[in-house]
Amino acid sequence: MLYKSFPLLILIMFVFGHAGLTTGLIYLISRKRFSVDYRYVILGSLLSDIIDKPLGNILLYNILNNGRIIGHSLVFVLLLTAIGIYRKNILYVAFGVWMHLFLDSMWLNQITLFWPLLGNFQHADFSFLELASNFIQPYNYIGEILGLSAIALLTLRYKLYRPDNLSYFASTGILKRL
């Protein structure tokens, strides 16, 4: 089950939309104001799905089959934000998670967003066709295109296609032309 489900779970994470749009936004906010470790921002932008997809769709498949549980709740992001007050890098992770919840329109799923105040997580009976239909929704593919565009622009601007620049970015999380 796990080996068959994992590629599908990666696809439904909408990696480029989450990582690209979040990274692009914090880049615009922080330009020349403060330095950002983008590795933590990228991690945060994907963290909700990294936690919830394997947990809710694989480990708890028979119980929940829901890829939006703990990592998509306010409890989770508020805890990260509180820790981030004392640890700057965790604040970057929290920013990424806040953006993830926004991009997933979690205000429409209030039981999950406000868990445990409104009750337990709901069982979701997703079929492959329902998941596949997500890919043709304009909100999703436009988000993926815009996110990929942001990643491409930053890659070109900071020449991350060059091994020395990419290595510096991977080791520091800082966008800088060498």
Count how many domains the chain has: 1
Residue 137: inside a domain, yes or no?
yes
Share of the chain above pLDDT 70, in %: 79
What is the spatial distance between Cα 80 and Cα 87, in angstroms, rounded to a whole number? 10
Share of the chain above pLDDT 90, in %: 48
- Averaged pLDDT, 50-77: 80
Domain that holds residue 167: 2-172
Confidence at 27, pLDDT banded by 50, 70, 90: very high
Residue (of 48, 71, 73, 69) closest to 60 by Cα position: 69
- In the chain, alpha helices (H): 2-11, 15-30, 38-52, 74-84, 88-103, 110-113, 128-133, 138-157, 163-172
Domain assignment present for 165: yes
Q: Looking at the domain assignment, is residue 20 inside a domain?
A: yes
Residue 80 corresponds to which tokens in the numbers above? 């990260």
Q: Pick 14 or 124 by higher pLDDT.
A: 14
Single pTM value for the model: 0.85
Residue 177 counted as domain residue: no
- Domain assignment present for residue 156? The answer is yes
Q: Does the residue 36 lie in any domain?
A: yes
Residue 106 lies in a domain: yes
Looking at residue 121, its pLDDT comes to: 62
Q: What pLDDT is attached to residue 130?
A: 60
Structural domain contains residue 178:
no
